[in-house]
């Protein structure tokens, strides 16, 4: 198939995803003629999908998310690699904000360590690791990712994971705690994170649960987007994956996350 046809097919699949979201249809693997058969095409669809969201909402990409970085999350969805998505500026929230359950088919929250980049990563083909990427980090935040799995059937999800990637890895926003700087790599790995719902603990994990280290997850993302002809830039945010399995709050719940050394973050669901 010619490259032009691939681009047209990716654009058509992206429009189908936009339609499904608008109608709040249940998530499933994209059927023919939009079937996603490989990772390259999945991210081509994601590129088109995000471009359409930017146009429709008058917003812009402000960073990236990584999904499926912990054993708990991989077991939950039945897939054993990570995927990425984009963060959009109009869906960034401060800790203590209120979001609407009715805006989602099935709201889920994930419990993350996020980094903000201090400066552009050079586009020189570097292979990033935790030591080389740390000097490019400005600060870290305790964070809650807002997502919508659109009532996905998790028993079938491993077979639809490429559509999850195309669907911007289900991202619907990010809630950020206060920025923290001056941390060490060792502190990040050992940091304990405790998730809560209405003040009751619902899970816990450590920084080491995300690909062995949050900075390893950040390096994975830097290498991943570089392979796609993209790059992390100054000011970009990157979430590094949920330390705790996803939770499904309802209207009236308040969700919190406390991370040792990085503070806390919360969101209320109305």
DSSP output for 188-212:
HHH-EEEEEETTEEEEEEEGGGTTT
pLDDT of the chain along its 270 residues, tens only? 445 588 999 999 999 999 999 999 999 999 999 999 999 999 999 999 999 999 999 999 999 999 887 777 777 777 767 899 999 999 999 999 999 999 999 999 999 999 999 999 998 888 999 999 999 999 999 999 999 999 999 888 888 999 999 999 999 999 999 999 999 999 999 999 999 999 999 999 999 998 899 999 999 999 999 999 999 999 999 999 999 999 999 999 999 999 999 999 999 999
Question: Tell me, what's the pLDDT at 4?
Answer: 58
Largest separation between any pair of C-alpha atoms in the chain: 55
Q: What is the dihedral of CA 44, 172, 140, 256, to 10 degrees?
A: -150
SS3 174: strand
Domains of the chain are: 60-269 (3.90.850.10)
Question: Tell me, what's the pLDDT at 264?
Answer: 98
Question: Tell me, what's the pLDDT at 181?
Answer: 95
Question: Tell me, what's the pLDDT at 82?
Answer: 85
SS3 228: coil
CB-neighbour burial class of residue 208 (10 A; exposed 0-12, middle 13-18, buried 19+): middle
pTM of the entire predicted model: 0.94
Question: Tell me, what's the pLDDT at 1?
Answer: 42
Residues β-bridged to residue 180: 140
CA dist 27 → 51, 115, 182, 239 (Å): 20, 29, 41, 23
Question: Tell me, what's the pLDDT at 136?
Answer: 97
Question: Tell me, what's the pLDDT at 76?
Answer: 73
Question: Tell me, what's the pLDDT at 125?
Answer: 83
Question: Tell me, what's the pLDDT at 81?
Answer: 75
């Amino acid at each position: 198939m010619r490259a032009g046809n691939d681009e047209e097919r990716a654009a058509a699949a992206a429009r189908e995803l936009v339609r499904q979201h608008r109608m709040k249809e249940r998530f499933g693997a994209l059927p023919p003629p939009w079937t996603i058969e490989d990772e390259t095409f999945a991210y081509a669809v994601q590129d088109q999908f995000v471009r359409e969201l930017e146009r429709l909402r008058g917003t812009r990409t402000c960073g990236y998310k990584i999904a499926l970085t912990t054993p708990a999350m991989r077991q939950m969805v039945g897939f054993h690699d990570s995927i990425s998505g984009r963060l959009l500026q109009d869906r960034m929230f401060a800790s203590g904000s209120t979001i609407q359950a009715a805006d989602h088919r099935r709201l889920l929250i994930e419990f993350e360590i996020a980094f903000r980049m201090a400066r552009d990563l050079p586009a020189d083909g570097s292979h990033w690791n935790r030591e080389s990427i740390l000097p490019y980090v400005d600060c870290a935040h305790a964070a809650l990712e807002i997502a919508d799995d659109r009532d996905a059937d998790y028993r079938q999800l491993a077979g639809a994971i490429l559509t999850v990637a195309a669907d911007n890895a289900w991202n619907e926003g990010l809630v950020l705690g206060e920025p923290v700087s001056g941390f060490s790599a060792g502190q990040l790995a050992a940091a304990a994170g405790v998730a809560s719902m209405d003040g009751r603990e619902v899970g816990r994990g450590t920084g080491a649960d995300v690909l062995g280290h949050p900075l390893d997850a950040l390096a994975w993302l830097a290498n991943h987007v570089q392979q796609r002809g993209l790059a992390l830039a100054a000011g970009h945010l990157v979430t590094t994956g949920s330390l705790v399995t996803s939770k499904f709050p309802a209207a009236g719940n308040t969700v919190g996350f406390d991370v040792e050394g990085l503070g806390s973050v919360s969101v209320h669901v109305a």
